Amino acid sequence: MSFTAIRDQETAIRLLRNLTRSRRVPNGLLFWGPSGVGKGLAAAEFIKALNCREGGDDACDACLLCRKITRGNHPDVKTIVPSGKARMIVMDQIDDLMEYAGLRPFESTWRVVIIQDADRMNLSAQNHFLKTLEEPPGRAIFILLTAHPRMLLPTIRSRCQMVRFQRLRPQTVAELIERDRGVTGEIAEAIAHLSEGQMSRALDLIDSEKRNVALDIVHRLATGEDPSALAEEFSGLLDDQRKRLEAQVDEELKPDRADEATREELEALKELRMAHMAALVKRELMEYLYLFQTWYRDELVFKATGDPARVLNRDQVARLREASSAPADKIKAVESALMQLNRNINEERVFRVLFFSLAEK
């Protein structure tokens, strides 16, 4: 894989190639744009290109350094992620980052620190990190990845080279999911438009049952089923999903030799597990709300225009023709549920209230 594998990001890749070619790389780079459009992939390819033994403005993908970075076991590349139940990047992590960045590279030209979801740094961590940017170690590069750059201090943004990433074109998403998942026709077109240019969302919609569940709930509420019973059924479904996620996280974060792990290492692993679980569960809930919102948005648009090309759920036009609800009120109800979840109100209560609102004619 190389820069050529990153789609629809011509401006960003041109900038990264120029930096690689010149070898005049700023200590701070801020990759910003929607989730799932290639920021993390571009960061990995950029690091490989900088350190590749072949030189030039791209990675060879064949040398030992390229292979190590691809496998995620290069000693001069470190990734920082949000931790704890609140999913924040805190002072201790920045201290570790600063200590790591201050060391000389072992095998490559630069030491690189990637900060995922950089907007999750709390204020103390941001101020602490700012000192590193103001007096950066000579051979260290910090790459911040975020979908919300304005959550970062203006002084951090001003000291980083901004690299903007765009949404993928629907045609690109459709082509990639056909290549990777074999999905074609109306379903591929619908998924491509529902993904909003985010490949990660498109793959999730294909690989999970979330969209089918959301469409089923919308249909059953529209045909008069009891919203209380549906809310209880949905709660059970979420519990099952949470158990699957827990098993997935436990497998991903299982230590190589748990019997030799120290108490501190086990505590850190537990904290990481909690943070990972909280992030996955929150994402699942938000995706259901997004799917409800897009459905009622399509009802509203189709009622106003009658044009199938203007809707996102393009494989559901027959059902949209029969829809007779009040979509504007239901969109407001979904937006209200979204705000409540962001305020950490009990999820069962949020969805129960939402289903009653969506059941109204």
Alpha-carbon distance values, 135 to 43, 138, 236, 265 (Å) = 23, 9, 52, 31
Give the residue from 353, 224, 194 showing the smallest Cα distance to 287. Answer: 194
Compute how many other C-beta atoms are within 10 angstroms of the C-beta atom of residue 27: 20
In this prediction, residue 12 has a pLDDT band, given cuts at 50, 70 and 90, of very high
Tell me the pLDDT tens digit for each residue of 82-122.
877 677 899 999 999 888 888 888 888 888 999 999 999 99
- The ranges assigned to domains in the chain are 3-164, 208-359
Contact 107, 76 (CB under 8 A): yes
Q: What pLDDT does residue 123 have?
A: 93
Q: What pLDDT does residue 233 have?
A: 94
Give the residue from 39, 44, 29, 48 showing the smallest Cα distance to 9. Answer: 39
Give the residue from 10, 182, 351, 234 showing the smallest Cα distance to 191. Answer: 182
In this prediction, residue 134 has a pLDDT band, given cuts at 50, 70 and 90, of confident
pLDDT > 60? residue 256: no
Compute how many other C-beta atoms are within 10 angstroms of the C-beta atom of residue 325: 18
| CATH classification code of 3-164 | 3.40.50.300
pTM of the model: 0.82
Q: What pLDDT does residue 118 have?
A: 95
